[in-house]
Amino acid sequence: MASTGCSSLPTEPRLIDARGLKCPLPVLKLEKMLDDLGTGSQLTVLATDPMAEIDIPLYCRQHGHQYTLAREDDVLRFEIVSA
């Protein structure tokens, strides 16, 4: 009988909606979720605090995570892949 393991299925990206939250809460929420995820996991963070544009990239660089940043009106959208 063939195995039907799900390990090859891509995981759905996770979302942190940090809109309206002030520093340091967006980074703290990011750190908590990344602690629970494995390497290569995808994560989206939405934030409106201008400090997130500095804090989240700094956190990602310090911990080796890859990220991209896009702006949608007043919302910062970070796409992160965990290291």
Q: Is residue 64 part of a domain?
A: yes
Q: Is residue 32 part of a domain?
A: yes
Q: Is residue 2 part of a domain?
A: no
Say which range, 2-6, 22-26, 76-80, has the weakest mean pLDDT. 2-6
- Give tens-digit pLDDT for 42-79: 999 999 999 999 999 999 999 999 999 999 999 999 99
Spatial separation of the C-alpha atoms in residues 42 and 81, rounded to whole Å: 5
For the cut 80, the answer to whether the pLDDT of residue 12 exceeds it is no
Domain total for the chain? 1
Q: Is residue 19 part of a domain?
A: yes
Question: Which domain range does residue 69 map to?
Answer: 14-76
Give catalytic status of residue 23 as yes or no. yes
Q: Which residues, in sequence order, are CB contacts of 53 under 8 Å at separation 6+?
A: 69, 76
Q: Catalytic pick from 19, 23, 24, 79?
A: 23
CATH number of domain containing 63: 3.30.110.40
Q: Is residue 55 part of a domain?
A: yes
pLDDT reported for residue 10: 52
Q: Is residue 5 part of a domain?
A: no
Q: Is residue 9 part of a domain?
A: no
For the cut 50, the answer to whether the pLDDT of residue 8 exceeds it is no
The two three-digit tokens of residue 34, written as one number: 């990344």
| pTM assigned to the model | 0.84
